[in-house]
A and B are shown apart, each in its own frame.
Chain A
Amino acid sequence: MELTYEATSAFAKSFGLIYLIALSVGITVYAFWPSLGKRFDKAAKSVLDDEDGPCR
C-alpha cells in the first residue's frame, strides 16, 4: 500500500477520532466506577502511612 497524504490523514481523522473517544470514555468509566472507590481511597491514604505509620 502506498503511504499517501490522503490515506494517512483519512486514517487519522476516522480511526484516530474513534480511538480517542473510546479511550476517554473507558478512562472516565474506570475512574468513576463506584466499587473502585475504596481502593482509590486506600491508595490516596497509603502515601501518608509509609513513613510515620505504626511499626509492624
Chain B
Amino acid sequence: MMTRLTTIERQGAMLLSGLIAFAGLALAVIGRGDAMGVHGWITLILAGTLFFIAGNAAYAPEPTEDRTKSYYDDPTKIGLLLALFWAVIGMGMGVWVAAQLAWPDLRFDAAWSSFGRLRPVHTSGVIFGFGGNALIATSFHIMQRTCRARLAGHLSPWFVLLGFNLFCIIAASGYLMGVTQSKEYAEPEWYADIWLVIVWIVYFILYIRTLARRNEPHIYVANWYYLAFILVVAILHIVNNLAVPASFGAAKSYSAFSGVQDAMTQWWYGHNAVAFFLTSGFLGMLYYFLPKRAERPIYSYRLSILSFWGIVFFYIWAGSHHLHYTALPMWVQTLGMTFSVMLLVPSWASAGNALMTLNGAWQKVRDDATLRFMMVAAVFYGLSTFEGSFMAVRAVNSLSHYTDWTVGHVHAGAMGWVALISFGSIYAVVPVIWRKESMYSWKLVEWHFWLALGGTVIYVFAMWNSGITQGLMWRTYTESGTLAYSFTDTLVAMHPYYVARAIGGSMFLAGAVIGAFNVVMTIRNVSHAAPQRDYPTESEANEPAVPAAE
C-alpha cells in the first residue's frame, strides 16, 4: 500500500508519524507517573511503527498508475477491517459486562475489570470503534462514487483513519486505567479530545475538497447526511469537552460548566451523538447502499431532502428529554419533549422511503441476505425512533427513566439499526473494492443475519420486560404509603432477564465473528473479478448512462 504513494507523500507520512511520535514522547515524559504517560508511550509506539512502515518504502520506485483513472480505496479497505476488529472487541466487552450483571463473580476482583471501567470500553468500542470506522470507511467509498472523483489527497485519508483509531485506543486503554471525565460517550480526557478535534477538522476539509472536485453536478443526498455527521459532531465534541486541566502533566480536568448547565450541555451532546453519529451518517449509508443493492432508485428523492433537514433541525433540540423531572427549567424539558415527538415525522419519512424503495423488489430481499440486513435495519430504525419519541413524553419517561427500558431502546437502535445497516453495507462493499466475484460464503451471511436478528430480538424483549418490571416495582407503594419493594427485590426480579440479555448479546457477537471471518476469507480466497466499471468519469461521459429501469 505504501508503494502506491509518491515519494513526496511517503516523506510526508514519515514527517507526520515522526511528529506524532515525538508528541507521544513529550506526553510520556510530562505525564510520567500518570495515565497520561502511558498514553504517551502508546502514541510513541504506534506512530513509531508507522514511521518505520513509511520509511521502509522510502526508496521504492514511484507509482506508475494514472490517478485520474481509478478511485483510492486503500484507506477504505483498512477502515473496514478496523471496523470489524472493533466490532468483535466492543461487542465482546458488551457480552462480558452483560454477563457480569447476571453473574457478578465474572469481575474476577480486579480494578480494571470492574463494570464501571469495562462498560465505557464497550460503548466507545462499538460506537466509535465499530461505528466510527464503518462511517469513515464508507464515507470515503461513497464520496468518491457519488462525486465520480478520486479522494482529494492521499495522506489526509490515512491521517483521518489512523488518527481516529489512535483516539479510540487512547479512550479504551484510559477507561481500564480509570481515566474518565464522567460525561457519557465523552469520557476521554482533554488531550485525547484536542487530538480528535485536529483529526476531525482534517476529515471535514478532506470531504469538502473531494466534493469540490466532483464531476457530478448534483451532490447526492448521502453526502449531505455524512457532512452533517462530520460538521455537527465537531461542534458537539468541542463544546461539551470545554474543560480546564487540573495540571498539564496529568489526565484529570474539570468541566467549564457546572450544575444544571453541565447536565444540559452533556445531554445536548449525548442525544446529538445519537442523532449525528449514530443516525445521520448511517442514513447516508442507507441512502447509498440500499438503492445500489436493490438496483432501484430511492422511492422519493424529494422526501429524502425533506427528512434530511427535518432531522438536522429537530434533533438538535431534543436533548433535554434526558433531564425530565430534574432542576432543568420546565419549559426546556417541554421543548425537548415536543421536538422529540416531532422528530417522528422525518424519522419515519426516511424509514418509509427505504421500505418503499424495496416495494416491488421483495423477491430480492428474500433471496439476498445483504439486502435483508438493510431492510431489517430500516424497520428497526422506524421502530426505535417511534419508541424514542414515545419515551420522551414526560409521563412515559417517569416510568421508563433510569430503568432497563432505556437500555433496551438504545440497543434496538444500536444493534437493530446501526449495526445491521453497517453489516449490510460491509457485505455490499467488500466484493466491490477488493474486486472479488462475491462474498466467500453466502450461507455465512445468512447465519450472521439470523444470529444478529435473533440476538437483537431476545435482547430487546428481555430489556423491555426487565425495565417495565423494574419501573413498576420502584413506584409501588404499600397501604401505609411506604415503598413496597426494596432495591434488592428488583434485582432478584430482573435476574432472569439479565441472563436472557447475555444470551442475546452472545448471539449477536457470534454473528459479528462470523462476519469478520467471512470478510477475511473473501479477501484471501475468492477469485479476482474486474468490475465492469468502477472508476471516475467526466460528467459528460455519464450523460447517456443506462436508465435504472433497464
Q: Do A and B come from one complex?
A: yes
Asked if residues B306 and A31 are in contact (CB atoms below 8 Å), the reply is yes
Interface status of A44 (Cβ within 8 A of chain B): yes
Given A31-B302, A45-B547, A50-B145 contact (CB < 8 Å):
yes
Asked if residues B548 and A48 are in contact (CB atoms below 8 Å), the reply is yes
Interface status of B366 (Cβ within 8 A of chain A): no
Interface status of B437 (Cβ within 8 A of chain A): no
* Per-residue contact bits, chain A 21-56, to B (CB 8 Å; 1 contact, 0 not): 001100110111000010111111111111111111
Interface status of B218 (Cβ within 8 A of chain A): yes
Asked if residues B533 and A55 are in contact (CB atoms below 8 Å), the reply is yes
Asked if residues A43 and B545 are in contact (CB atoms below 8 Å), the reply is no
Residue from A24, A31, A44, A51 in contact with B432 in the complex, judged by beta carbons closer than 8 Å: A51
Asked if residues B532 and A49 are in contact (CB atoms below 8 Å), the reply is no
Given A27-B306, A54-B544, A9-B331 contact (CB < 8 Å):
yes
Q: Determine how close the nearest CB of chain A comes to the CB of B196; give it in whole angstroms.
A: 29
On chain B, the residues within 8 Å of A52 by CB distance are 531-533
On chain A, the residues within 8 Å of B218 by CB distance are 39, 42-43, 46
Q: Number of B interface residues, CB 8 Å? A: 38
Q: Number of A interface residues, CB 8 Å? A: 28
On chain B, the residues within 8 Å of A48 by CB distance are 291-292, 295-297, 548
On chain B, the residues within 8 Å of A41 by CB distance are 297, 301
Residue from A27, A53, A55, A56 in contact with B305 in the complex, judged by beta carbons closer than 8 Å: A27
- Which B residue's beta carbon lies closest to that of A55? B533
**A41–B291 alpha-carbon span in the complex (Å):** 13
- Which A residue's beta carbon lies closest to that of B331? A9
**A2–B534 alpha-carbon span in the complex (Å):** 58
Asked if residues B545 and A44 are in contact (CB atoms below 8 Å), the reply is no
* Per-residue contact bits, chain B 93-123, to A (CB 8 Å; 1 contact, 0 not): 0000000000000000000000000000000
Q: What secondary structure prevails in chain B residues at the interface with A?
A: loop
Asked if residues B309 and A50 are in contact (CB atoms below 8 Å), the reply is no
Asked if residues A44 and B542 are in contact (CB atoms below 8 Å), the reply is no
Residue from A9, A27, A40, A47 in contact with B309 in the complex, judged by beta carbons closer than 8 Å: A27
Q: Determine how close the nearest CB of chain A comes to the CB of B442; give it in whole angstroms.
A: 20
Q: Determine how close the nearest CB of chain A comes to the CB of B76; give it in whole angstroms.
A: 14
Q: Determine how close the nearest CB of chain A comes to the CB of B321; give it in whole angstroms.
A: 17
Q: Determine how close the nearest CB of chain B comes to the CB of A22; give it in whole angstroms.
A: 11
Interface status of B158 (Cβ within 8 A of chain A): no
Interface status of B221 (Cβ within 8 A of chain A): yes
Asked if residues A56 and B313 are in contact (CB atoms below 8 Å), the reply is no
**A30–B306 alpha-carbon span in the complex (Å):** 9
Interface status of B409 (Cβ within 8 A of chain A): no
Asked if residues B292 and A47 are in contact (CB atoms below 8 Å), the reply is yes
Asked if residues A30 and B305 are in contact (CB atoms below 8 Å), the reply is yes
Asked if residues A23 and B313 are in contact (CB atoms below 8 Å), the reply is yes
On chain A, the residues within 8 Å of B309 by CB distance are 23-24, 27
Q: Determine how close the nearest CB of chain A comes to the CB of B414; give it in whole angstroms.
A: 26
On chain A, the residues within 8 Å of B547 by CB distance are 45
Asked if residues A40 and B533 are in contact (CB atoms below 8 Å), the reply is no
Asked if residues B432 and A49 are in contact (CB atoms below 8 Å), the reply is no
On chain B, the residues within 8 Å of A45 by CB distance are 297, 545, 547-548
Q: Determine how close the nearest CB of chain A comes to the CB of B437; give it in whole angstroms.
A: 14
Interface status of B541 (Cβ within 8 A of chain A): yes
5 closest cross-chain pairs (CB), A and B: A56-B541, A44-B297, A49-B545, A40-B301, A44-B301
12 contacts between A and B (CB under 8 A): A30-B305, A44-B298, A45-B547, A48-B292, A48-B295, A48-B548, A51-B432, A51-B531, A51-B533, A53-B545, A56-B537, A56-B542
Chain A positions near chain B (C-beta within 8 angstroms) = 9, 20, 23-24, 27-28, 30-32, 37, 39-56
Chain B positions near chain A (C-beta within 8 angstroms) = 145-146, 148, 216, 218, 220-222, 288, 291-292, 295-298, 301-303, 305-306, 309-310, 313, 331, 432, 531-534, 537-538, 541-542, 544-548
